[in-house]
Amino acid sequence: MSRIGKKPVSLPTGVTVNVGSDNVIVVKGPKGELRQSVDRDIRMDVRDNQIVFERPTDQIRHRAQHGLYRALVSNMVSGVTEGFKKELELVGVGYKASNQGNLLDLSLGYSHNIIIEVPKELKVTTTQEKGDNPRIFLEGIDKQLLGQVAAKIRSLRKPEPYKGKGVKYKGEYIRRKAGKAAGK
């Protein structure tokens, strides 16, 4: 059996789970509500503050989905209780970030500023202190949406290996390359 799939998801206090007849699981908690449709072959049972996932056969498809849906629901439970955060750092001369509400205004060395509308489910804040790189903080309860938006922002100017300039995640290691060898 799948090691991840057979582990039950424990429900903290204040979190309620409803499994609909059309296999849509709804998780409600102190920070909000999330929905996820689950494949009809995977069975979910809520027993004494735990969600248990079971698969019908040992087919490759069922084994893969068993662990997948358990991990997705586990992320939903931790999202509605604690939430998720991502921090991005802008490395480069003249790189700036500012926001008004959920509009993110980025200056990344192009001839124009890039304006991104962050989904309303996420909260975005920016800081720009003297002597430190500008930072973008993303917070939300949906781990998948948070990662997708952070990856989209990073893809606007990926870190390059020679000087390390670009948008990178906080704590991300950029593998550096040696520049052109000096002439004679």
- Digit-coded pLDDT (tens) for 7-60: 999 999 999 999 888 889 999 999 999 999 998 889 888 888 999 999 999 899
Q: Is 84-169 the same fold as 9-81?
A: yes
| pLDDT at 119 > cutoff 70 | yes
The pLDDT mean for the chain works out to 91
Q: What token pair was written down for 7?
A: 């582990």
Which architecture, in CATH terms, is 9-81?
Answer: Alpha-Beta Complex (3.90)
**Buried b / exposed e across 43-76, counting CB within 10 Å, b at 16+?**
ebebeeeebebebeeeeeebeebbbbbbbbbbbb
CA separation, residue 5 to residues 16, 53, 67 (Å): 20, 7, 4
pLDDT tens-place string over residues 146-167:
999 999 999 999 999 999 899 9
- Cα 17 to chain centroid, rounded: 22
Q: Residue 140: is its pLDDT beyond 80?
A: yes
pLDDT per residue as tens digits for the range 59-89 = 999 988 999 999 999 999 999 999 999 999 9
Span 122-141, average pLDDT? 94
**Is the per-residue pLDDT at 1 higher than 60?**
no
Q: What is the pLDDT of residue 5?
A: 84
- DSSP secondary-structure letter at 57? S
Whether the CB-CB separation of 76 and 32 falls below 8 Å is answered with no
The answer, yes or no, to whether residue 100 has pLDDT greater than 50, is yes
DSSP 104: E
Beta bridge partners of 9: 51
Per-residue pLDDT, 180: 83
CATH superfamily for domain 84-169: Ribosomal protein L6 (3.90.930.12)
Provide mean pLDDT across the span 130-138.
93
Is pLDDT above 80 for 183?
no
Whole-prediction pTM value? 0.88
**116: CB partners within 8 A, 6+ apart:** 103, 104, 106, 152, 153
Domain parsing of the chain, residue ranges:
9-81, 84-169
| pLDDT at residue number 2 | 60
Nearest C-alpha neighbor of 103 from the set 94, 88, 113: 113
